Amino acid sequence: MPKKVDHEARRQEISEALWRIAGTRGLDGASLRDVAAEAGISLGRLQHYFRTKDEMLAFALQHINRLANQRIRARIEALEGEPTPRQVLRACLSGMLPLDPESRTGTLVGAAYFHRAVHDETLRAEAKDGIPKLRAFFADQLRRAEERGELPPGRATEDEAMLLISLADGLSTYVLLDVHGPEQAMRLMDLQLANLFDRKETDPDH
Amino acid sequence: MPKKVDHEARRQEISEALWRIAGTRGLDGASLRDVAAEAGISLGRLQHYFRTKDEMLAFALQHINRLANQRIRARIEALEGEPTPRQVLRACLSGMLPLDPESRTGTLVGAAYFHRAVHDETLRAEAKDGIPKLRAFFADQLRRAEERGELPPGRATEDEAMLLISLADGLSTYVLLDVHGPEQAMRLMDLQLANLFDRKETDPDH
């Protein structure tokens, strides 16, 4: 097996050990040594791949984002015919919520990453970069919906896009805390979409 | 000075050391020993007050919730005349967002607590208990608004209340990550309130 592939497989194994810790006892206070032990390798060997916890979290987060993108793409492809912008948005938002064990672990690793990013500008750069891109994509879907006459006028804005994204984040937190279950989180997301797509100003002169 | 007061003052000092760490390098991986060092006392002395990091976080969270309640009450009292339900909701929601250094630190300590609560049922109980109470209070304000003819019919629901609460949580996360500033978070919160109060079904037969 070529060396490069071997390295990637090893990084993957370490990532999986990290996910198991994220899913069980949590990443708060988990050290590189803990992850090495979970992966069944020495600390020195782990540090050959990841020098710091931040490097390891960044790698795990990228992988989790890839999985989320695959999940979202699969949901969109599963739709009958040409999906509407509303269906595309709903598929993205459902892919952002912890609705199954895989996405739950993804949310936990993401939360651990963001928790450190608050105090680290380098880590924060990734979060700051990713969310505006997502917002632009969402706003674009809203504009497509408006053009198709499927969204009341004046609502295809970056702010409405940001409300959807921020809401997905808040709903996810409460799923992890058992305040509500995955189905209720999705139901609340659908309510937000219905409020966006199916309502207009009560007073047009307002 | 009576002993009881002395104990509370000491707990308070320890809490403040915890907040300083939360506000600067973050609580991920911060040990009881780190907090003792920051408070300028021995680990043994700190453990006289808090046996575990979880006990300490729970105390800090309670204190922060008291501060948030004071902030919200002050905002409501600052309103001219009898506040409308919408004004009460807006005051609560603005008190939940990290709009100044005090509430920012509160959000950080809360995030550290919730991060551990995901993996600990005892800690989770507090979160699970608090949010439904807040939701019930919000739903009650929505019902008052509907009775006063200030909210379109059919929107005084627990689900609409939960959307507001979840959104405050998501918007807070993005303030901490510098995705948007405090003013933008409040502007987005106001958009959600306007969508709730100023819009009706596009099709009443829908």
Residue type, position A202, single letter: T
Chain A residues close to B192, C-beta within 8 Å: 163
Between CA B77 and CA A104 the distance in angstroms is 41
Flag if A118 and B176 touch (Cβ within 8 Å).
Answer: yes
The two three-digit tokens of residue A88, written as one number: 């595309």
Nearest by CB to residue B177, choosing from A25, A114, A167, is A114
Asked whether the beta carbons of residue A202 and residue B199 sit closer than 8 angstroms, the reply is yes
Q: ipTM value of the model?
A: 0.89
How does pLDDT run across A189-203, given as a tens digit for each residue? Answer: 999 999 999 988 775
| Residue A159 phi, psi (nearest 5) | -65, -45
Whole-number pLDDT of residue A79: 86
* A121 pLDDT above the threshold of 90: no
Band (A116; pLDDT cuts 50, 70, 90):
confident
A4-11 average pLDDT score: 79
Mutate which: A31, A33, A163, vs B, most B CBs within 10 A? A163
Measured between alpha carbons, how far is A193 from A175 in angstroms, rounded to an integer?
19
Sign of CA dihedral B190, B192, B194, B197: negative
Q: B132 to chain A: which residues are within 8 Å by CB?
A: 179
- Residue A113's pLDDT is 83
The mean predicted confidence, pLDDT, of chain A is 89
Query: Under DSSP, is residue B199 helix (H, G, I), strand (E, B) or coil?
Result: strand
Q: What's the whole-number average pLDDT of chain B?
A: 89
Task: Give the pLDDT confidence score for residue B205 in this predicted structure.
Answer: 47
CA angle A121, A122, A125 (to 5 degrees): 85
Query: Could you say which of A131, A195, A206 has the minimum Cβ distance to residue B195?
Result: A195
Per-residue pLDDT band for B2 (boundaries 50, 70, 90) equals low
Greatest alpha-carbon pair distance for chain B in Å reads: 70
Q: Do A169 and B174 touch (CB under 8 A)?
A: yes
CB contact (8 A) between residue A195 and residue B196? yes
The C-alpha atoms of residue A103 and residue A147 are separated, in whole angstroms, by 33
Please tell me which of the candidates B31, B112, B202 has its beta carbon nearest to residue A199. Answer: B202
Query: Predicted confidence band at B138 (pLDDT cuts at 50, 70, 90)?
Result: very high
- Whether residue B114 and residue A173 make contact (CB cut-off 8 A), yes or no, is yes
* Cβ pair B203:A199 closer than 8 A: no
- CA–CA dist A191, B126 (Å, integer): 27
Chain B interface mutation, best of A155, A157, A177, A191, highest count of B Cβ atoms under 10 Å = A177
Q: Do A191 and B132 touch (CB under 8 A)?
A: no
Alpha helices in B101-152 (DSSP H): 101-117, 121-147
DSSP state of B110: H
Host H or E run for residue A133: helix A121-147
Question: Which residue of B27, B124, B188 is in closest CB contact with A159?
Answer: B188
List domains and CATH numbers for chain B.
1-51 (1.10.10), 53-197 (1.10.357.10)
Cβ–Cβ pairs < 8 A, chains A and B: 146
CB B162 within 8 A of CB A166: no
Per-residue pLDDT tens over the stretch B70-127:
888 898 888 888 999 999 999 999 999 999 988 898 888 888 888 888 888 888 887 7
Q: What is the pLDDT of residue B206?
A: 44
pLDDT value at A206 more than 50 = no
